[in-house]
Chain A
Amino acid sequence: MKRRSKATLATPSRRRMLKQTAALIAAPYVLRSAHAQGNADVAPYTAAKINWRQAEGEEITVAFIPASYFDNLIAIAPTFEALSGVKVRFEKVPPGQIRQKAMLDLSSKTATYATSATDPMYYPLYVANKWVEPLDRYLNDAALTDPAWFNYNDILKAWRDADSFEGKPYGIPYDGEVTVQVYRKDLYDAKGLKPAETLDEFLKNAAALTDAGNRMYGMALRGFAGAGQNMYIYPSLFKEFGGNWFNGKKVVVNSPEGVRALDWYVDAESKYAPPAVRNWNWPDIADAFSQGTLGCYIDAHSSAAVLMNPEKSKVIGKIAFARWPKGPTGKRVTSIWNWGLPINAALTDKQKRATWLFITWAASAETQARTSWKFAGAAKRSGLNRTSLWKSPEFLAMTSNIGPNFVEAALGSLEQDTDVDWRPRVPQWPAIGDTMGTAIQSALVGQKNSREALDEAQARIDQILKG
């Protein structure tokens, strides 16, 4: 359940950036000086033809995870408070607990959190329980949303779809990520290798680079058990091997495609990855890569932040990016993960309006830019939610130091390699995701073979779904 959290880019010193972010949060003085720089300028917001002050005097609590992409938003939140007269209290809940806490709150209808950073896989569950508001009403209400200004369709389609269920949006994406190949350009060049176009090539590249005696491994994919760990990588493989999570309404995980995909995963990890990878999450992989012991990995584009920390990294300037290799079906399938913001259905009407205003403010193009390249601190967000921003010259300039193809690989993946049924979207996802994470890991560590692991998972999932 512990997910990635430090998805910011590439700046001289992570420590310094943390400090500066902290300084921004902590010191009103600094904020005031930020105002002086023009960041408090509300004109780009007042251009929207809505009444920002319609929920004036409300107070809402928002749960985020402690991550710099949210810290940036918190740092400029006084602008929203000034604009709307709504007071926002932020609560930072660690990624491992935010789902649990949000769910305990939603299920008990205490309305503690007006909105919280939400895992897209949880919408089916929330919707089944009617815990969150359908947002089409809000989007279509001229008093609440100026369609021309907010331009919902500018938000990356893959993420919009991920945060919708049965055709209705339930969350608005704020920040997200795609999985891409991150590889050592210098090592690839030295051996005359090219970034893999197919999974087979991916293994060939890995084989060419692996030299376990010298602590050099060709590849790594997260293996740690969990819905947000190995079950974040495996779905892409499953889909690329032609897997389909559903047979009618039944969730099927032990299809021949599933077994083949898991066999590939097990085989790749056991031959070309560091032995400990089966217990690794993304930071461990990024650490190993930054120490120069990995040739390539596939993970979130934002993990590049760790690689750019000069205090630790030995690979700065040697990194390049590429889209997922194609599977046997010729498909590439990337992650559609994002943190979206829903509205808690247990709020009063006025609170709901206040929350909606906050969400549209946070997801607006202007705020997205202000938390990215316009941000005064050192940590600039790279998980922006809008196509127009990904294509802007400012974003390109900001990310140019990370490595060649960064935007190209990430945006290409986002636009062409997504599949809304990347993971099975059913209310029982928490149990299914956990079951699958455990099953995958038991196959990776050789406790069971792929077939047994998936058959057992299937039996359990059948139990779970049985009504």
Chain B
Amino acid sequence: MKLRLLALYPEQMNIYADRGNILFLQRRCEWRGIEFSYAAAGPGEGLDPGAHDLLYLGGGQDRDQRAVAADMVAGKRDGLAAAIDDGIAMLAVCGGYQLLGHSYQLGEERLSGLGLVDLETVREPGERLIGNVAIEADLGDGPRTIAGFENHGGRTYLGEGAKPLGRVVKGFGNNGKDGHEGVRRDNLIGTYLHGPLLPKNAWLADRLIALALERRYGSPPELEPLDDRLELAAQECARAAALA
């Protein structure tokens, strides 16, 4: 078995520890004897929807995010839309999450997003939403906790038909008001929980691996259990920090 990961704009969209998520996926595949391949798609490059199993898009600084948004709309949107329709597993974090919507606001300026999910991101008066966060999410195998850290100025609102990733237990989530965090569409996940989201939530990493392999090989894989004592301790630590 092989899992083919494609990192979108890793040079531009890596503001905070995004490589931790990728490293975590890689090790957990390799420890189970699942071959792992890493490819990157940067500015000016297209996207072949059938060539990859798992897509990753991190967050970036404002200047980079602006350039990436324009490049993605021009060169990758169609390939990405086809891959998501086909059920590809994808994780988009923070700035990458905002780019998936119809539009987002950078300062006073309103920029077009990819329009792949029904959401938009706006500025509102008030402080940035910063802090430890815990949410409850069900990705088809029962409600589970996702713990992490959020740090965003933008407020994201989901459209009528869009499903949140989860319900905020502690923290702000999409906008600090409606109790929603992130978005889910097929096997695409968008979230404000940045940095080492997967290391703090090993079950979520494994769920993404399983969804990616299921699309490629046609049936849900049996993922061999790993010695997750440190992983569980880290999740408990992050969850406790959010609930404190």
A binds B: no
| A residues in contact (CB < 8 Å) with B | none
| B residues in contact (CB < 8 Å) with A | none
